[in-house]
Amino acid sequence: MSIQQAIEKIEAQYGHQSEFIQAAKEIALTIKPLYDAHPEYEALKVFERLIEPDRIFNFRVNWENDKGEVQVNRGWRVQFNNALGPYKGGLRFHPTVTESVLKFLGFEQIFKNALTGLPIGGGKGGSDFDPKGKTDSEVRRFCYAFMRELHHYISKDIDVPAGDIGVGGREVSYMYAMYKNLTRESTGVITGKGVGFGGSLMRTEATGYGAVYFLENMLKAQNEDLEGKIVLVSGAGNVSLHAAEKATALGAVVVTVSDSQGTLYDKSGFNQEKTDWLKAQKQQSKPLAEYVDIYGGEWLANKKPWSIKGDIAIPSATQNEVNEDDAKLMVDNGIKYVVEGANMPLTADAIDYIRLHHVYYAPGKAANAGGVAVSALEMSQNSVRQYQTFDEVDERLKCIMKNIHDSATEASEQYGQTKNGYIDYMAGANMVGFKRVADALVAYGILN
């Protein structure tokens, strides 16, 4: 079955899962030169096998709110592919979570994790639970109830969850506590744990910092650097604020962050003091708009950051936040580099538009792989029961991001996707990630 036929098959079967179909098509479109060069992939139906998750667990989560009322949510864990190592990927708690969203995220995670060069497979999970407006005790009860179900399916060598949107250090700690309570094991079964009880230094910063390390490599390839560059960041969560922090430390001027209510624009840039204020504000779920009263700048209600002039965009909020109109705005406003801090923040049309206009484009599975890479380092630290220093982890992260950049560049060149000096990072990254997994599947025969 050709790649095209495999796509038609999943469209017929899962047509309603739009995010998943979008992610599968993106890979399908770009790996063709590689697939054609490896007839064994088609012979063993590698693509057809890869777009079907190994298994999906789907469970009910009962918990009690502060009034003692019973609440019911849905929970999932998608174990997508473990050819390279234990299923690995975060848990997302957000009302938009569906099986389609988790399948797209799990599918992306397979190739992202392969790109890190570390022994981890791909998975994802989560719940339609909305943490917004919940008290700490409600979040705690939900996390305990969620892990009471999830613990049946995971273990340090089988499937290792972590955080994602709506799941940070607090939630990971609650879930880990329930896992320990039920199994009496202290293991690396979940990553993003607190430093001091198994967590790795730098895990919190890793996704945002890693995206900026990737960007540094992209700039270097064009004989440029971050000094004085105007950067637009969307989102105001963990990835956004750490990307802003690192870009600023390396000389850039980060002028926007945003949330579902609008965009905060400060043309003088977010220095460390302002970034610390933003982190504290978000931690307490308080409005970004209050920034203006303290530091000035502008609050652009109900606006995205893309109408502002800049050199670099780092969309780090959520999937499909940048549509074709936004992509046009980016190009009109001088953006030369787009680095995805979030997973699939650009729609397919937006990607087409910016690539057509030769904007350098780093897809999430390459640019935001730093988070899961440091998660894998946390797993290895847990296995040998030792900690690495901040600097050791930072050095490893820099090296991993450079390797991802260089291998994507090389594949783009090798398969003729680099034209007139324009490096097609999307095609390159998809081919490198896909090849690593596909070669393992070929080696295994038809198991896996």
Binding-site ranges for ligand GLU (CB under 6 A): 88-90, 162, 164, 191, 343, 371-372, 375
Residues 6+ apart with CB under 8 A from 331: 353, 354, 357, 359
Q: Which two tokens stand for residue 68?
A: 């003692």
Residue 159, beta-bridge partner list: 87, 155
Least distance to ligand GLU, CB of residue 177, Å: 19
DSSP state, residue 346: B
Least distance to ligand GLU, CB of residue 405, Å: 17
CA-nearest of 362, 445, 410, 315 to 40 is 445
Catalytic: 304? no
Least distance to ligand GLU, CB of residue 125, Å: 10
Identity of the residue, 263 or 316, whose beta carbon is nearer to ligand GLU in the bound complex: 316
Least distance to ligand GLU, CB of residue 147, Å: 16
Rounded Cα distance between 248 and 244, Å, is 6
Burial class (CB in 10 A: 0-12, 13-18, 19+), 133: exposed
Active-site annotation holder among 88, 103, 112, 124: 124
Identity of the residue, 200 or 263, whose beta carbon is nearer to ligand GLU in the bound complex: 200
Q: What are phi and psi of 132, to 5 degrees?
A: -60, 130
Residue 338, beta-bridge partner list: 313, 361
Identity of the residue, 244 or 372, whose beta carbon is nearer to ligand GLU in the bound complex: 372
Other residues' Cβ atoms within 10 Å of the Cβ of residue 26? 21
Cα–Cα separations (whole angstroms), residue 5 to 8, 11, 42, 47: 5, 10, 11, 10
Q: Which two tokens stand for residue 66?
A: 């502060």
Pairing between β-strand 298-301 and β-strand 262-265 as defined by DSSP bridges:
antiparallel
Identity of the residue, 191 or 263, whose beta carbon is nearer to ligand GLU in the bound complex: 191
Least distance to ligand GLU, CB of residue 263, Å: 23
Strands (E), 112-212: 122-127, 159-160
Residues 6+ apart with CB under 8 A from 126: 75, 76, 90, 91, 92, 93, 94, 97, 102, 164, 166, 167
């929970």: which residue's tokens? 75
DSSP state, residue 164: B
Q: Which two tokens stand for residue 409?
A: 């560049």
Least distance to ligand GLU, CB of residue 214, Å: 13
Identity of the residue, 85 or 262, whose beta carbon is nearer to ligand GLU in the bound complex: 85
Least distance to ligand GLU, CB of residue 368, Å: 6
Residue closest to ligand GLU (Cβ): 90
Identity of the residue, 162 or 288, whose beta carbon is nearer to ligand GLU in the bound complex: 162
Identity of the residue, 101 or 359, whose beta carbon is nearer to ligand GLU in the bound complex: 101
Catalytic residues: 124
